[in-house]
């Protein structure tokens, strides 16, 4: 099977934060950034939380007001910090390109094609796209109204309520060989409180059996790492579109290197047709 992109990777907000000091985990970002290269597309969460922590650091207090307004303000402050941090640690011989997406870019045929062509050009131009959902200009109320309208016209609607969904849709768009989802956990567990119950592999003899086995594993999943996150069950649901096109999926801890995860040296949940 031929693939156009080697890797779409995604890292979650909580994996990016050093909880002990309430700052970005610069060591982690430096390590991961040093492995990024053309042919990789990186989806990063963390703008809102990064902006929040930076604002508190500068003012000694949190923002007050409507939740959507606060999220917008934090996200716009955090985006610049995230990008400058990635730029600092990605190999200087590679170009870095910020791409902010919304649900409309996946639900409109022309916008999807425009986004796809831009991401594929990056490989030939020695560039690495860094993608995030555009929280700074997208309100939940408006998004829900737009999604509701779209659902009256088509059965298949991409909502992008979570960057796990965004990453999976990007993998589908560019036909990625591997989708790597990095979290604060080592993968999918049968018992979320017992690391020894890590499910190291979800597979099937064909895509139909694989999808059934993914759904079966969803029964073990509950809870999320933070308010607003959708948790492991949602991750498994979102990746179904990617596995349908033959993309291999790895769900793993951000403490491991990309190389060790791709080579099978590190613990993870690996998902694909046998």
Q: Which two tokens stand for residue 101?
A: 């997406």
Q: In this structure, is the dihedral angle defined by the CA atoms of residues 89, 94, 100 and 104, taken in order, positive or negative?
A: negative
Q: Which two tokens stand for residue 242?
A: 């990617």
Q: Among 41-50, 153-162, 182-191, where is mean pLDDT lowest?
A: 153-162
Question: Per-residue confidence at 226, pLDDT binned at 50, 70, 90?
Answer: very low
Q: Where are the domains of the chain?
A: 5-273
Which residues does 253 contact at the CB level (< 8 Å), separation at least 6? 15, 182, 183, 184, 185, 186, 187, 266, 267, 268
Q: What is the pLDDT of residue 228?
A: 42
Question: Per-residue confidence at 227, pLDDT binned at 50, 70, 90?
Answer: very low
Compute the CA torsion angle 109, 139, 7, 35 (nearest 10 deg).
150
Q: What is the pLDDT of residue 139?
A: 67
Per-residue pLDDT for 223 more than 60? no
State pLDDT tens for residues 5-49.
999 999 999 899 998 888 899 999 999 999 999 999 999 999 999
CA atoms within 13 A on the CB side of 86: 28
- Rounded Cα distance, 105 and 102, in Å: 6
Q: What CATH number was assigned to the domain covering residues 5-273? A: 3.40.1160.10
């Amino acid at each position: 099977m031929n693939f156009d992109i080697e890797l779409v990777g995604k890292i979650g907000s909580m994996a990016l934060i050093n909880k002990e000091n309430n700052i970005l985990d610069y060591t982690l970002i430096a390590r991961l950034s040093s492995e990024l290269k053309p042919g990789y597309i990186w989806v990063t969460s963390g703008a809102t939380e990064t902006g929040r922590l930076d604002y508190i650091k500068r003012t000694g207090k949190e923002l007050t007001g409507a939740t959507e307004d606060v999220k917008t303000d934090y996200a716009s402050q955090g985006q610049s910090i995230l990008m400058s941090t990635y730029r600092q640690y990605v190999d200087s011989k590679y170009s870095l390109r910020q791409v902010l997406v919304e649900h409309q870019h996946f639900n409109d045929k022309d916008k999807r094609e425009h986004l796809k062509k831009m991401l594929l050009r990056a490989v030939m131009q020695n560039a690495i796209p860094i993608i995030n959902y555009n929280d700074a200009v997208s309100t939940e109320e408006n998004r829900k109204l737009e999604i509701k309208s779209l659902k009256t016209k088509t059965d298949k609607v991409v909502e992008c309520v979570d960057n796990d969904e965004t990453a999976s849709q990007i993998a589908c768009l560019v036909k990625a060989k591997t989708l790597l989802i990095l979290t604060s956990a080592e993968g999918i567990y049968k018992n979320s409180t017992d690391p020894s119950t890590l499910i190291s592999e979800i597979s099937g003899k064909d895509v139909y059996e694989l999808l059934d086995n993914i759904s079966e594993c969803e029964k073990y999943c509950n809870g999320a790492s933070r308010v607003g996150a959708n948790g492991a069950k949602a991750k498994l649901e979102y990746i179904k579109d990617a596995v349908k096109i033959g993309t291999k999926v790895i769900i793993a801890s951000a403490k491991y290197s990309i190389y060790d995860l791709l080579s099978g040296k590190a613990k993870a949940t690996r998902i694909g047709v046998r």
